[in-house]
């Protein structure tokens, strides 16, 4: 229990530290106060209808609640980019406008439109942000296409998107899938600022919102984030949350992914932290949580895993020992390891 408290305190203190840079804007009032639906950013949309998109339930939703200075800076950057080269804006617009048809054509009626958008490259970053922040899709597939936009800026790892994504993440009225997508986009951007926003949002999240953030956060390969995931995996009694946390720990410690990264300073500690929590989860859960923990341990492929299994085995019940033996055998022939 005390460990939990300590971890939470540490996490909050780190959040404060990481967000220090934003102190100047912390008191920024939203530009246009609105009613309960939230606050829109400036400039005002061309029509009142443009001020909102539809939620998954078909209800109006405000565009992201950006601080005024952030909104103005983003607008300026967009205007300058358009003046310099309007083509990425036109291409992006066409892709976004075509998105409902693209989805309709796709298997499962869900196309990777965000992936397509990201393939346009960094030049598409501001055009996508413009649609996301100021001119969101408005038809009946708006919530789906909006998630495509969120996904795209995450795939582009465009740091200019952080304020917009953070605003979406922090909006507790967003549906779970949008929250998860925003968390994942921030996780991919992966800056200290993005990590801070993720931890802040996770701090008070409960239920479906907590599961959504936990599910999206795995690609944020910061030790603090991994430790928070490990803490939640240890403490939760919610199987769905445990499964999401196990998967995200696998993602954080994913050995194949780490091989592609330039900055690998925290790799070893993250993979070890993930592996330790996953072995514990494997012991204390069964069913699909245990399977998720086992799969995550395979992708993390931490060298310490056999020792962690052996350590767990010493304290295990006979049934747990049998399960741990099976895990040890699986790890010995790890399906992710090249032969």
Q: Which of 106, 173, 264, 306 binds other proteins (CB under 8 A)?
A: 106
Q: Toward other proteins, which CB reaches closer, 167 or 182?
A: 182
Q: Which is nearer to other proteins, 43 or 303 (CB)?
A: 303
Give dist(CA 87, CA 181) in Å, integer: 27
Name which of 321 and 330 has its Cβ closer to other proteins: 330
Among left, alpha and beta (phi > 0; psi -120 to 50; other), residue 329 is: alpha
Q: Which two tokens mark 182?
A: 């925003």
Q: Is the peptide bond before 57 cis (omega within 30 degrees of 0)?
A: no
Question: Contact between 336 and other proteins (CB under 8 A)?
Answer: yes
Q: How far is CA 58 from the centre of its chain?
A: 24
Does 137 participate in binding other proteins (rule CB under 8 A)? no
Q: Is 296 exposed, middle or buried (0-12, 13-18, 19+ CB in 10 A)?
A: buried
Per-residue tokens: 111: 């196309």
Select the residue interacting with other proteins from 7, 40, 102, 143 (CB under 8 A): 102
Name residue 60's beta-bridge partners.
54
Among the listed residues 202, 301, 190, the one whose alpha carbon sits nearest the alpha carbon of residue 244:
202
Q: Count CB-CB contacts under 10 A for residue 17.
A: 11
Based on CB atoms, which residue is closest to other proteins, 71 or 132?
132
Beta carbon nearer to other proteins, 217 or 308: 217
Q: At what angle do helices 125-133 and 162-170 cross, to 10 degrees?
A: 30
d(C-alpha 161, C-alpha 133), whole Å: 10
**Region near other proteins per CB under 8 A, out of 15-23, 32-40, 236-244, 306-314:** 236-244
Q: Smaller CB distance to other proteins: residue 10 or 284?
A: 284
Binding mask 247-286 for other proteins (x = CB under 8 A): x--xx--xxxx-xxx-------------------------
- Tally Cβ neighbours within 10 Å of residue 300: 26
Q: Least distance to other proteins from the beta carbon of 296, Å? A: 8
Q: At what angle do helices 239-253 and 223-235 cross, to 10 degrees?
A: 150
Using CB under 8 A as the binding rule, the residues of this chain from 80 to 99 that contact other proteins are: 91, 94-95, 98
Nearest distance from C-beta of residue 331 to other proteins, angstroms = 11
User: Of 42 and 91, which has the nearer Cβ to other proteins?
Assistant: 91
42, 295, 311, 328: which one binds other proteins (CB under 8 A): 295
Termini Cα distance of the chain: 43
CB of 266 to other proteins, least distance (A): 15
Q: Which of 114, 127, 137, 163 binds other proteins (CB under 8 A)?
A: 114
Q: Which of 155, 225, 308, 309 binds other proteins (CB under 8 A)?
A: 155
Distance CA 226, CA 252 (A): 7
69-73, long-range: CB < 8 A, 24+ apart = 69/25, 69/28, 70/25, 70/28, 70/163, 71/31, 71/41, 71/42, 71/133, 72/42
Q: Which is nearer to other proteins, 75 or 188 (CB)?
A: 188
By CB under 8 A, name the binding residues for other proteins.
91, 94-95, 98, 102, 105-112, 114-116, 119-121, 147, 151, 155, 177, 180-181, 184, 215-216, 219, 239-240, 243, 247, 250-251, 254-257, 259-261, 287-288, 291, 294-296, 298-299, 330, 335-339
């Amino acid at each position: 229990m005390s460990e939990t408290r300590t971890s939470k305190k540490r996490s909050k203190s780190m959040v404060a530290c990481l967000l220090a840079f934003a102190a100047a804007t912390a008191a920024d009032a939203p530009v246009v106060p609105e009613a309960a639906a939230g606050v829109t950013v400036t400039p005002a949309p061309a029509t009142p209808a443009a001020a909102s998109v539809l939620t998954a339930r078909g209800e109006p939703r405000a565009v992201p609640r950006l601080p005024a200075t952030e909104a103005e800076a983003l607008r300026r950057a967009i205007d300058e980019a358009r003046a310099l080269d309007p083509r990425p804006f036109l291409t992006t617009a066409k892709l976004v406008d075509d998105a409902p048809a693209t989805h309709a054509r796709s298997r499962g009626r869900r196309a990777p439109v965000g992936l397509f958008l990201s393939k346009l490259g960094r030049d598409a970053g501001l055009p996508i942000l413009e649609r996301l922040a100021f001119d969101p899709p408005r038809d009946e597939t708006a919530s789906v296409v909006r998630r495509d936009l969120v996904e795209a800026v995450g795939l582009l790892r465009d740091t200019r998107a952080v304020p917009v994504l953070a605003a979406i993440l922090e909006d507790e009225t967003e549906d779970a899938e949008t929250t998860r997508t925003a968390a994942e986009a921030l996780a991919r951007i992966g800056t200290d600022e993005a990590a801070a926003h993720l931890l802040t949002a996770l701090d008070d999240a409960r239920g479906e919102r907590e599961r959504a953030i936990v599910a999206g956060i795995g690609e944020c390969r910061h030790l603090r984030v991994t430790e928070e995931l490990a803490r939640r995996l240890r403490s939760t009694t919610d199987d769905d949350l445990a499964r999401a946390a196990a998967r995200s720990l696998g993602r954080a410690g994913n050995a194949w992914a780490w091989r592609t990264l330039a900055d690998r300073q925290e790799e070893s500690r993250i993979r070890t932290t993930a592996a330790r929590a996953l072995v514990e989860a494997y012991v204390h859960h069964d069913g699909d949580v245990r399977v998720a923990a086992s799969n995550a341990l395979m992708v993390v492929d931490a060298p310490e895993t056999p020792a962690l299994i052996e350590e767990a085995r010493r304290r295990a019940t006979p049934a747990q020992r049998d399960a741990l033996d099976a895990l040890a055998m699986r790890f010995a022939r790890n399906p992710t390891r090249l032969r």
